Amino acid sequence: MGTADVEAVWRIESARIVAALTRFTGDFGLAEDAAQEAVAEALVSWPLASPANPAGWLMATARRRAIDAIRRRTALQDRYALLATDPAVDEDIDPDRIDDDVLALMFVSCHPVLSPEARVALTLRVVGGLSSEEIARAFLVPVPTVQARITRAKKTIAAAGVPFELPPAGERRGRLGGVLSVLYVIFTEGSTATSGDRLLRPDVAYEAIRLARTLAALQPDEPEVHGLLALCELTAARFPARTGPDGSPILLADQDRRRWDFSAVRRGLAALAKASARGLGPYGLQAAIAAAHASAPSVEATDWDRIVVLYEALGRVAPSPVVELNRAVAVAMASGPAQALAIVDELIALDRLPGSHLVPTVRGELLARLGRRPEARAELELAARLCANQRERSVLLRKAAALG
Amino acid sequence: MPKYMLIMRGTDESNAAMMASIEEGIARTRHFIEEMMKAGVLLGAEGLDDPGQGAVVDFSGEAPVVTDGPYGETKELFGGFFLLDVASKQEAVEWAKRVPAAPGSKIEIRRVPEEDEVPQDSTVQR
C-alpha cells in the first residue's frame, strides 16, 4: 500500500477514530495527536507490509499512542489504570454511539470559542480527514499557518474546558447554526475564491458538500442542514458552465445550461424538498433561489417574481446588505432597472457595503441598461479597482471598455 | 471531484450464496449504504433483478434484434452498482473492499469522466 492508500483509509476513518478516542480519553487534543501519530506510522509501515484490516490497524495504533501519552502524564494515574485494564481494542467503536460522537466532534471543531479560521482548519482536519498541506492548499495559506491554527485551537479547547458532548437542547439549534456557517465558509471559498487567479476551486467546494452530506445523514430532522446541502449542490451544479476554457468567469445569462450537472441539480432539489417540509430558513431560502435558476431554461424564462419574493423572505430572516443587493438584481429582472437602482442607491446612501466591488458592479449594470453609459462605465471601473479576484476584475474592465 | 462506479459482478455461485442468506445480505448491504451516506460519498445505488427476467437488444444486424433472457454467455453478470463521489481512486477501492459481497463475486471499479473531459457541442461550433 502506498501513501494514497493510507490517505484513502484515513479519509474514511479519521472522524470516527478521533471521535472514539476523544470519548475514550476525554481529551480532544490528545486524541487528535494520537490519531495523527497513527497515520504517520501507517505512512511508514504500510508500504512495507499491508495490514489485513487497515481501519482496525489505525484505530488500534491510535489508541496505543493515546495510552502512551496518558502514561506520560503522572497526574492522570487513575485514568491510566482504567485504560490499562481495558482489553478491547478492535471493539472500541460502539455503532450506536459513534454517530453521536462524530456529531459531537463537529460541534467541538466548530465551537464558538475558536476563531473562524481555526474552526475551518480543525473541521477539515479532524472531520474531513485532510492533511495540513491539503488545508493550506485549499485556503492558499502557508502550511505552518494551518499547523499553528490547529495547535492553538486544541489549546483553546482544552483551556476553555469544552466538553465532548452534544450541546444541550436549548443551545443545540444555535450551535448547529455555527457548524453550518463553517461548512458554508468552506463552500464559498470553493465557489468564489476570495483570492488567487482561479474563480472556482471545486475540490474545496467538494469538501464542504461532503461534510454537509455527513451532517444531513447524522441530523436528518434539521431542515437547515438539508437547506445548506441543497444550496451547495445546486450552486455546484452550475460549476461546469461558470468558467470558460481559459478560466474566465461566464455570467449566468451567458452560461450554456446544457453543461450544468443535472444529477447535482436533482440531488439539490431532493435536499430542498426535505428542507422545505417545515419552512425554510436562510440556507433553505438561498437554496430555493438557486433552485429557481436551476429549473429555468434561460434567464428570460426564469421566474424572477418568485426570486424577488424569496429574497424578500431572506431579507426578513437574515437581513444583510448583500441580500438587498441581490434583491435589487432580481427586481431589475422582474420589474426593470429603475426600481432596482433605487434599492442600490439606498444601500449607498446608508453606506451599507463600504469598499465592496459588488455595489458598483450592480449599479454599473443597471445604469448601462438605463442607457446612462458614462456613469455606468465609471461604476464598472470603480468595481474593477475594488475587486480582489483577477478573473472577475478582467471581466469588469472588459465591460467598462465596451461602454466606450 | 472524481466519481466512481462500483459495478457488482456476481457469479452463479456468489448469487446462490447471497440468496442462501438473503435477509442477512440485505441487512449488511443496508448498513453499508448508511456508512457511505454518513461519510458523504454515496450518490446512488441500485441492485438488478434476475438477468433471466431481462432482455438483450442486439444491434449487429440492420435492425435491432431482441432476445429475452440474460446477456450472452458471460460468467460475471452485472448485478448492481454503487455510485460514489470520492477524493481519489484509492478511496473508491477502499470502499469497494468494504462491500458485503458474496464469496466468488467481483467488483469492477470505473471512473466517471468529469464534465470537461467530454467533448462539448459548443466547443465544436466555435
- The single-letter DSSP state of residue A249 is B
User: Does some domain include residue A253?
Assistant: no
User: Does some domain include residue A275?
Assistant: no
User: Does some domain include residue A63?
Assistant: yes
Q: What is this model's ipTM?
A: 0.87
CA distance B64 to chain A (A): 30
**A88 near B CB under 8 A:** no
Contact A164, A108 (CB under 8 A): yes
With CB atoms and an 8 Å threshold, state whether B40 touches A211: yes
Total count of residues recorded for chain A: 404
Contact A286, A229 (CB under 8 A): no
User: Does some domain include residue B126?
Assistant: no
User: Does some domain include residue B54?
Assistant: yes
Nearest to B41 among A4, A102, A210 (CB): A210
Chain B residue with CA closest to A203: the answer is B1
Residue-level pLDDT at A184: 95
CB atoms within 10 A of CB A253: 10
Contact A291, A272 (CB under 8 A): yes
Place of cell 431481462: B54
* Global confidence as pTM: 0.89
User: Does some domain include residue B118?
Assistant: no
Q: Which helix (H) or strand (E) holds A250?
A: none
- Residues with Cβ < 8 Å from B63, sequence gap 6 or more? none
User: Does some domain include residue A105?
Assistant: no
CA distance B115 to chain A (A): 7
> How many residue pairs from chains A and B have C-beta atoms closer than 8 A?
63
Alpha-carbon torsion (B8, B11, B12, B15), positive or negative: negative
- Separation in Å, CA A123 to CA A58, A103, A114, A120, A131: 20, 11, 11, 5, 11
Chain B residue with CA closest to A243: the answer is B116
CA–CA distance, A29 with A154 (Å, rounded to integer): 5
Residue-level pLDDT at A281: 95
Ordered alpha helix ranges (H), B7-100: 12-20, 22-38, 89-97
Cell of A240: 461546469
Phi, psi of B112 (to 5 degrees): -95, 125
Mean confidence (pLDDT) of chain A: 91
Predicted confidence (pLDDT) at residue B57 exceeds the cutoff of 80: yes
CA–CA distance, B95 with A283 (Å, rounded to integer): 31
B108 strand-pairing partners: B7
| Per-residue b or e along A198-225, where b marks 16 or more CB atoms closer than 10 Å to that residue's CB | ebbbeebbbbbbbbbbbbbbbbeebbbb
Q: List the domain range (segments joined by +) for residue A32.
A: 4-94
Place of cell 476563531: A115
pLDDT class for A77, splitting at 50, 70, 90? low
**A240 near B CB under 8 A:** yes
Burial group, residue B19, by CB count within 10 angstroms (0-12, 13-18, 19+) = exposed
Residue-level pLDDT at A86: 53
Residues of B in contact with A5 (CB under 8 A): 90, 93-94
User: Does some domain include residue A85?
Assistant: yes
Residue-level pLDDT at A334: 96
Task: For chain B, count helices (H), then strands (E).
Answer: 4, 6
Residues of A in contact with B27 (CB under 8 A): none
**A213 near B CB under 8 A:** yes
Span A255-266, average pLDDT: 94
With CB atoms and an 8 Å threshold, state whether A206 touches B85: yes
CA distance A206 to chain B (A): 7
User: Does some domain include residue B20?
Assistant: yes
User: Does some domain include residue B121?
Assistant: no
Nearest to B88 among A8, A210, A261 (CB): A8
- Separation in Å, CA A258 to CA A240, A244, A247, B89: 10, 14, 18, 27
Contact A373, A364 (CB under 8 A): no
CA–CA distance, A302 with A304 (Å, rounded to integer): 6
User: Does some domain include residue A8?
Assistant: yes
With CB atoms and an 8 Å threshold, state whether A214 touches B40: yes
Contact A231, A285 (CB under 8 A): no
Give per-residue pLDDT as tens, A284-330.
999 999 999 999 999 999 999 999 999 999 999 999 999 999 999 99
Predicted confidence (pLDDT) at residue B126 exceeds the cutoff of 60: no
Burial group, residue A58, by CB count within 10 angstroms (0-12, 13-18, 19+) = buried
User: Does some domain include residue A12?
Assistant: yes
Query: Which residues on chain B place their C-beta less than 8 Å from a C-beta of chain A?
Result: 1, 34, 37-41, 43, 85-91, 93-95, 115-116, 120-123
Contact A313, A285 (CB under 8 A): yes
The lowest-confidence range among A84-98, A354-368, B2-16 is: A84-98
Into how many domains does chain B fold? 1
Into how many domains does chain A fold? 1
User: Does some domain include residue B36?
Assistant: yes
CB atoms within 10 A of CB B87: 23
- The single-letter DSSP state of residue A227 is H
- CATH number, domain containing residue B85: 3.30.70.1060
Residue-level pLDDT at B38: 96
| Per-residue b or e along A94-114, where b marks 16 or more CB atoms closer than 10 Å to that residue's CB | eeeebbebbbbbbbbbbbeeb
Chain A residue with CA closest to B43: the answer is A267
Give per-residue pLDDT as tens, A327-383.
999 999 999 999 999 999 999 999 888 889 999 999 999 999 999 999 999 999 999
With CB atoms and an 8 Å threshold, state whether B40 touches A217: yes
